[in-house]
Structure 1
Amino acid sequence: MWDLLKAGDWPVIPLVLCSILALGIVLERAWSLQRRRVLPPTLLGQVQRWCASGEVDGARIHSLRQHSPLGRILAAVLLHGGEDRQRQRENVEDTGRHLALELERYLTALGTLATISPLIGLFGTVIGMIETFNAISLTGLGAPEQLASGIAIALVNTAGGLFVAIPSYIFHRYYRGRVDELVADLERQAGELAESLAEQTARLRRAQAVKRA
């Protein structure tokens, strides 16, 4: 590997930096977009039990906001309870937009790396070809080692650009799809909690109406 990098000469340095940055983003998103971190499996049921037993208060809502992305959107549902559905819907939508942006963090940078890496490789290819033709103009075809050096620069940079771009593009598309899936599940669970609160509010109103009657 080191011999290949040396053969690529200085144009390969930006590709190495791009590869390190892309790998860091891939690993960070792999950690942050774990389903159990975004959507803890038991949280919705726990919040529904709090609502059923009347245990929802400011402290619990605050703890939910600090818990996870799912906790934040469930807290947005609880903030207005089942009383003001319009305000509740607006609050959930606003929270959902912010969560989507957080889940997509660094993905634009990863897509940019996938786009520019082949261009950087092409730049290295051009540099290698320039060196090759420069060697031909100075020594003719009698110095194959100089010709080989320029060709090596061209080929190594071409391969390096593709080596960085292809995995970056694959992971960029994969994480985009994963974010869409997670956001859809966040919205679904928020909707379930909103419906549950609405039903509880309706039952409470009916019970109060019966008592007044």
Structure 2
Amino acid sequence: MLSIIQAAGWPIWPLILCSVVGLALVIERLVSLRARRIMPPALLDEVLTLCRTSLPSMDVVGKLAENSLLGMVLASGLRAVIAEPRITEAALRQAFETAGRAAAHQLERYLNTLGTIAAAAPLLGLLGTVVGMIEIFGSQPASGAGNPAALAHGISIALYNTAFGLIIAIPALMFYRYFRGLVDRHLLGLELAAERLLPQLMRFAVRVPPATGSK
């Protein structure tokens, strides 16, 4: 492998860097996007049970927000109702949506970088092949009496860059698509959890009586 890297020339080093970064991102996302870390199975039911008779204290809400992304979204609704007892349903939905956008930003972290690696790796491999071909034909004598065997060997070495680029790009693209689907599934779960908690929280909102006109 080391001899192949040395023979492929300097264009292969950006590909090696892409492979290291891509592998690190895949491992990080596999760990960070685990379902139990994003949406603990029993957390929503526990919050619904806790809010059945009264709203929890701010200390409990703070611990809930630190529990997971689901906890952060649910805590945003609890904070909104505690801070503004006269909150409307539209305002409470807005609080959930704002927390959902923050959660989406965390879920999608590094995915653009992984997608860029998947798109750029074949181009870097092609660049390495083109550079290698230029060097090979540039080193041939003007008389055209070069060694065909050496020429074929040089072309095969130049193609290592393209092959290496595809080896990096294909898994990176597969993991990128997998993570995108996982993020969409988590976001849907967060949205459904907020919809379940919303009517529970609206029970604690103080209703403002409609203004009566003077006769």
- Structure 2: which amino acid aligns with 1:66? E
Please identify which structure carries the higher helix content: 1
Aligned to 2:211: none
Aligned to 2:138: 134
* Residue 49 in structure 1 maps to residue 49 in structure 2: yes
Aligned to 1:14: 14
- Structure 2: which amino acid aligns with 1:18? C
Deviations 1:22-48 (A, max 9, x none): 000000000000000000111111111
* Residue 172 in structure 1 maps to residue 172 in structure 2: no
- Structure 1 residue matching 2:51: 3-state secondary structure: helix
TM alignment of 1:58-137, pairs within 5 A: 58-81=58-81, 83-84=86-87, 85-137=89-141
The TM-score, its normalising length taken from structure 2, stands at 0.86
Indicate conservation of the 8 Å contact 1:118/1:158, yes or no: yes
Deviations 1:35-84 (A, max 9, x none): 00000111111111211142511111111111110000000121233852
Distance 2:59 2:98 in 1: 22
Deviations 1:164-192 (A, max 9, x none): 11111111111011101100000101111
The TM-score, its normalising length taken from structure 1, stands at 0.87
Distance 2:131 2:149 in 1: 17
Identity of aligned residues (%): 43
Residues 105, 139 of structure 1: CA spacing in aligned structure 2 closer, same or farther, 3 A cutoff?
Answer: farther
Distance 2:188 2:42 in 1: 18
Listed as ranges, the gaps of 5+ residues in structure 1 are 206-213
CA offset at residue 11 of structure 1? 1.2
Structure 1 stretch displaced more, 4-13 or 112-121: 4-13
Residues 88, 55 of structure 1: CA spacing in aligned structure 2 closer, same or farther, 3 A cutoff?
Answer: closer
Listed as ranges, the gaps of 5+ residues in structure 2 are 208-215
Distance 1:138 1:149 in 2: 19
- Structure 2 residue matching 1:80: 3-state secondary structure: helix
Aligned to 2:40: 40
Deviations 1:7-33 (A, max 9, x none): 312211110000000000000000000
Distance 1:68 1:15 in 2: 35
